[in-house]
């Protein structure tokens, strides 16, 4: 059974810092990996989708990498801003199943 | 392009009552999912539909939860009778198909069972 772990569970940094969120998964037989953002009381916003054949994806200040063989992904956020404060969720998709999510990293960017 | 729509956004019920949630996926999306997100946890898949057929409902508590997707478009998720531990956000998502396709999520329905 696939398990997804996200480290750290919570992170608080001053505005302007570059930061890295980590995600690991136990079964490397995946179709893809998605990073989501969730604001309090809101649904999920997809940030980046990495197919299993890809190594990384970039969108603006966000860069996500995937090392399928080692079961790891990182989300890099450059020049963090207070508006980046949210919970970040990593999810993997294998076979015909839906997504398996981690518990998320709660990020606070201090002005 | 309109996103995934869900209603209601909030619902408060007493235990042992019944409740139903509605989801309208993105037009043309064949695959529809219902997830349950308990506070402090990541979402957990309850059921997956491909058109109007069930692909996976292994984590759906079938003694109290039911879901249907008539005509392969809208879907409803029902809980009867509700328990305190059903308090959660219920998220609906859709994708063009299974496998490599990206999933798009609705805003969710926050259920509180008292």
pLDDT value at residue B1:
63
Mutate to test the interface with B, among A4, A35, A43 (most CBs of B within 10 A): A43
Nearest-CA distance A7 → chain B (Å): 13
Question: Using CB atoms and an 8 Å cut-off, which of residues 8-67 of chain A contact chain B?
Answer: 31-32, 34, 36, 41-46, 49, 51
Distance between CA atoms of residues A25 and A72, nearest Å: 6
Q: Do B98 and A44 touch (CB under 8 A)?
A: no
Shortest distance between the Cα of B111 and any Cα of chain A, in A, equals 12
pLDDT at A96: 62
Picking from B97, B107, B108, the residue whose alpha carbon sits closest to that of residue B49 is: B97
Distance from CA of B19 to the nearest CA of A (A): 20
Averaged over successive runs of 10 residues, the pLDDT of chain B (114 residues) comes to 91 97 96 95 94 92 94 94 97 89 92 97
Tell me, what's the pLDDT at A3? 94
Which of B42, B44, B56 is closest, CB to CB, to A96?
B56
Which tens digit of pLDDT belongs to each residue from A37-78?
999 878 899 999 999 999 999 999 999 999 999 999 999 999
Cα distances (Å, whole numbers) of residue A5 to A86, B63, B76, B91: 18, 30, 31, 21
Provide, rounded to the nearest whole percent, the portion of chain A with pLDDT above 70. Answer: 97
């Amino acid at each position: 059974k696939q398990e997804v772990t996200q480290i750290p569970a919570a992170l608080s940094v001053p505005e302007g810092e570059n930061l890295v969120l980590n995600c690991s998964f136990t079964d490397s037989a995946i179709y893809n990996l998605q990073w989501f953002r969730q604001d309090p009381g809101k649904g999920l916003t997809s940030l980046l989708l990495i197919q299993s054949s890809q190594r990384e994806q970039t969108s603006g200040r966000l860069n996500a990498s995937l090392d399928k063989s080692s079961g790891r992904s990182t989300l890099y956020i450059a020049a963090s801003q207070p508006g980046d404060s949210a919970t970040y969720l990593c999810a993997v998709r294998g076979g015909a199943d839906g997504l398996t999510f981690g518990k998320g990293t709660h990020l606070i960017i201090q002005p | 392009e309109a996103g995934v729509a869900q209603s209601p956004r909030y619902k408060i019920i007493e235990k042992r009552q019944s409740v139903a949630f509605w989801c309208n996926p993105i037009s043309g999306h064949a695959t529809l999912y219902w997830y349950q997100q308990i506070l402090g946890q990541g979402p957990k898949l309850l059921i997956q539909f491909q058109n109007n057929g069930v692909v996976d409902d292994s984590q759906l508590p079938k003694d109290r939860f039911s879901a249907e997707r008539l005509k392969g478009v809208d879907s409803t998720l029902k809980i009867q009778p509700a328990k305190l531990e059903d308090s959660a956000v219920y998220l609906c998502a859709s994708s063009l198909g299974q496998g490599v396709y990206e999933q798009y999520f609705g805003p969710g329905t926050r259920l509180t069972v008292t």
